[in-house]
Structure 1
Amino acid sequence: MDQNYSIENKFNKLIIIVSILIPIVVALLFTVKLKDYGINVAPLSFLPPIYATINGFTALFLILGVIAIKKGNRKIHERFMKAALMLSVLFLVMYVAYHMTSDSTPYGGEGAIRYVYFFILLSHILLSIAVIPLVLITYVKALAERFDKHKKIAKITFPIWLYVAITGVVVYLMIAPYYV
């Protein structure tokens, strides 16, 4: 068995566990309000524009990473993709922190735009769950230097991850007028 294949095998169980745990933990933490447990923390109401900006930079880094690899610059590609991954993790931490200290903001738009908002929000949420294993698998394929397989899965991962990053910004822009 070659070493690269064993690297992939080593991470397969971890990818499955992380891909299941992250959505469950986020869903559970989303229902936890620190104030309900006697922990008095000021609402982190300043975070939504920050994590929306992080989503914007994630999208930018994903695009720049693809441009870099198309130009044959593997090292720059790797840096942009690692940065996009780190920003996605940072977003997740801020998102959970915000929702643990603040009440959810209801969308106030009316008419057809309301349906557009909820379609974008629902697709964003569902694809953000689906992209977790895709990103991890794509990353591990590169780590194992199985670039043929990495490229194949990246063609699926990239547009989904990009959509999630961009719709994160769009959802924020659409709900921003309704923040208290």
Structure 2
Amino acid sequence: MGNINNQTENTLEQKYNKWIWILSVTVPLLVALLFGVNLRKLGYDVEPLSFLPPIYATINGITAVVLVIAVWAIKNGKRTLHENLMKFAILLSVLFLGMYVAYHMTSDSTKFGGEGAIKYIYYFILISHILLSIIIIPFVLITYVKALSQRFDKHRKIARIAFPMWLYVAVTGVIVYVMISPYYAH
């Protein structure tokens, strides 16, 4: 019986592994491509969605809080709460991504106006945030699939890497917004 369950779990993981890698490659490429597409510059009469940055920064902040509560939940034996919070965190990340792309497709990029050391700090945070936001995609998806497959030993092992990375991305998303918000065109 145990062998059949292992085969089912491995089949489930194999089924999802293809999608994990497809999403892990296509999402960053699609975001990069769409980031460079400005509908207004292409002649489309669209209003800039300039109201979105504080909303998606707030979503990042909420994601960070949800992640911390989810870890607390699992450490306190509240598995269903943990599972629901993690699904919510994934949903929040998808919402963030949609709003982020929509904003950049309808608005001109904002240049950071700070000088001196603060400029280097900003770019360090921004670049590390961007790189880890790409790297975190397969980690989150693999961790999620391990839980779906009920391979909780592997799930925990990967989650120990994924959690701090995802938390860093969520928190630095808020920091980047706070640092650049004074330079948004009003």
Regarding TM over 0.5, the answer is yes
CA offsets per residue over residues 8-64 of structure 1, 9 Å max, x none? 000111111110001110000001011233321100000000000000000000000
Partner of 2:172: 167
Residue 178 in structure 1 maps to residue 178 in structure 2? no
Match of 2:66 among 61, 64, 75: 61
Q: Secondary structure at the match of 1:36?
A: coil
Residue 137 in structure 1 maps to residue 142 in structure 2? yes
Q: CA deviation at 1:109?
A: 0.5
Partner of 1:24: 29
Q: Secondary structure at the match of 1:40?
A: coil
Q: How many pairs are equivalent? A: 180
Distance 2:117 2:154 in 1: 42
Q: CA deviation at 1:2?
A: 1.8
Structure 2 counterpart of 1:50, one-letter code: I
Distance 1:107 1:36 in 2: 21
Structure 1 counterpart of 2:51, one-letter code: F
Match of 2:154 among 149, 164, 170: 149
Distance 2:17 2:133 in 1: 19
Structure 2 counterpart of 1:16, one-letter code: W
Partner of 1:76: 81
Match of 1:7 among 6, 12, 17: 12
Distance 1:72 1:122 in 2: 36
Identity %: 66
Question: Structure 1-normalised TM-score?
Answer: 0.98
Q: CA deviation at 1:159?
A: 0.2
Distance 2:28 2:17 in 1: 18
Q: Secondary structure at the match of 1:110?
A: coil
Distance 1:40 1:80 in 2: 39
**Aligned runs of 1:118-129 on 2, under 5 Å?**
118-129=123-134
Distance 1:2 1:130 in 2: 29
Partner of 1:85: 90
Partner of 2:112: 107
Match of 1:40 among 22, 45, 50: 45
Distance 1:24 1:110 in 2: 31
Structure 2 segments unaligned to the other structure (5+ residues): 1-5
Distance 1:112 1:140 in 2: 42
Partner of 2:3: none
Structure 2 counterpart of 1:102, one-letter code: S
RMSD: 0.7
Q: CA deviation at 1:175?
A: 0.3
